[in-house]
Amino acid sequence: MVECKEAAGCCCGENVSEEELMLRLDECIAEYKDKPGGLIPALQTAQAIFGYLPEAVLLKISAGFDKSYSEVAGVVGFYSFFSTQPRGRNTVRVCLGTACYVRGGKQILESLKKELGVDVGETTEDREFTLEVARCFGACGLAPVITVNDEVHQRVKPSGLREILCQYKQQEAGEAAHAE
């Protein structure tokens, strides 16, 4: 599942108008509404379009699929992949699998919470970062590991976190961050 790519890849940042996004949503609904089990892929696509699943989008999907809003909400609430909160343009995941945990993953997470000022599952106010935890990326030999979007950072230390985060701010936020 390429969830992180879909979820974080194309939200905000791009200069796409709201109408354009809604048109894409209409296409997505038209594509899936008559397919059996089409609700979940439609929600995945919608989340990829908007970065998250705002109420207006869910209401539109509910109407388009002729399914009750409570059912759509039930599906969204069941899968942790779906988010009804705006997400950051970068997703930071801290591994808390066994190897990373014993090599300091927990301290990495605590430091990240402090550095970003958010709790797990939350997004920074400037919508730069969403913080999540994960259970093993299969890189135990490199523990402790964090990922930012699709990139793996190995043997991270609390003191090196700010530098890692800065790279992403710089990449996407442009000159303003660079000057800091």
Residues forming contacts to other proteins in the complex (CB under 8 A) are 59, 63, 67-74, 77-78, 84
State the nearest-atom distance from the C-beta of 68 to other proteins, in Å. Answer: 2
Are residues 62 and 68 in contact, defined by beta-carbon separation less than 8 angstroms?
yes
State the nearest-atom distance from the C-beta of 43 to other proteins, in Å. Answer: 14
- Of residues 78 and 110, the one with the C-beta less far from other proteins: 78
Q: Where are the alpha helices (DSSP H) in the chain?
A: 3-9, 18-32, 39-50, 55-65, 69-78, 98-100, 106-116, 161-173, 175-179
Strand arrangement, sheet containing 129-134: 129-134, 90-95, 146-148, 151-153
- Of residues 57 and 92, the one with the C-beta less far from other proteins: 57
State the nearest-atom distance from the C-beta of 2 to other proteins, in Å. Answer: 23
- Of residues 21 and 72, the one with the C-beta less far from other proteins: 72
- C-alpha 51/C-alpha 18 separation (Å) is 13
Position of tokens 């591994």? 95
* Strands 90-95 and 129-134, bridge-based pairing: parallel
- C-alpha 94/C-alpha 144 separation (Å) is 8
**DSSP structural state of residue 125:** T
- Of residues 17 and 70, the one with the C-beta less far from other proteins: 70
- Of residues 81 and 101, the one with the C-beta less far from other proteins: 81
Per-residue b or e along 136-146, where b marks 16 or more CB atoms closer than 10 Å to that residue's CB: ebebeebbbbb
